[in-house]
Structure 1
């Protein structure tokens, strides 16, 4: 499924340390063997909590989150039960606008929000909604207004822009509550989240006319830059970058492909560079004698195959719980005016479309 949300996963400086807190939730309608509502929370791209409408229980997915007691998880659970109902209503509203009210197919209504904090104090936040894997509306923090991705989303934009209350409340959450809880979670899991694991780097080419692949794997944290240099200068043309993917052991992998002339393969002019967030050392592997497989420091050898991504669920689920009560913000929730008509409702947990 296409996710426009991936634009937020970029790197902000080769060696800068960036921590992130993201919540994803998705409502699903139609005949599908999948929960009607699902929520995933990520810290530094690793899942730390989970909820779905079948189990109706928010649960920790890391050892370090188990330190939060029953009150915390009960609060998370109640908020997400309310969010389920709001998403169920919103899917129907959007289906009506897209003239799909009688559709028997599968439809999804998604939300992603989160914040990032650099080691220099720079903060970023985002709130985005999607429908059937495409952009729907997103929050512009600069103007505190909503941006509609298509004509059918304009109704939602105008409704949420009418008073500006939604945008202001969510912006306060992004700039304050989200950052505070990100810092708290990072402190909980610092032994895991702040570890540095150096990459193994391998070069592989199927044939002299095939692109050369530089494959870095087994590194942590996720924030990495992998690129090619020629005579000391970064190469931009004839280069294809792959996505950063998770390994089963909690580390990550990434590949970048270079199309190069056969006569330049053993010229010594090209090298692959891996820069890992928080590590000053660059990991450099020179392209030479690729038939035997050039390897970088600590390399595990030639690429055997892609590691299966263990967070496939993240591709379709998004969200953060938003409760109306101020006390819930102290538990990591963003308070919001959540009803469709602008009035408050104790059972609503996210703004309806």
Structure 2
């Protein structure tokens, strides 16, 4: 499938990955509708920061995936749907588990039911590497068991199974993309990489972090966005769950050292107990096997970790107004 000229809807378009995907789809010539969560401020999230020439190419639709009437109107007439809208903050899922069920599970069911009724040509549903929990073996392939180690991960497992059921029950053209840890410009300040960088750039000589021993497979946002597009374009991906990762793991401790070296500051790390997950909930190891996506598409990551971190540091340096480094962002 060539996305140029296709009518494409993106849920979660105003967010971190969604905004980058929205821009990229405009660039390749898709007819883009951006679903933005309704709010009284009429804020379009990161879309508000787009170049005006890009913004004018987007049809912005305000709604809420938790409301079927809202999402069904947004989906009507669309050829392709990228479903990214979700609650994603793990710490807040400990405080409000039901909010994650309503948004991530029920919201996904609403999106898929609307796509079924409107006979959408292709749906790309967004999962997360957190559904795997702590690695039982590495690298983690798509056959790895799913483990609900937080209310967030459990809600995403539920959403993934809803997507699987719609594919199996109704023969819908659904692909599930499972990104490992995406980072880059516009990422929430509560995520580990912007947390590290923004604290250092604010002038702090001591930065507060949680556990330093877990490992992650980090992926620059532009690589993740290209994976979304490649998966949407390929007929081979229908009915598949597909990892998107670098096939490289690094501990949080080593990541901090790398960022400190790139920025060139002398920094002390302080453990903040508020930032440590409950023991049984912490995901200690994530390392992606990306064989499947390479077999099904011609995707491969382009950015090294050092290159991606340098781009992210530059963006955060220019946009420190978005970061409240004295507050722990749950």
Q: Same fold (TM over 0.5)?
A: no
* Bigger relative CO (Cα 8 Å, ≥ 6 apart): 1
Which has the larger Rg? 1
| TM-score grouping bracket, smaller chain normalisation | under 0.3
Please report the TM-score for the alignment, with normalisation by the length of structure 2: 0.26
Structure 1 or 2: larger helix share? Answer: 2
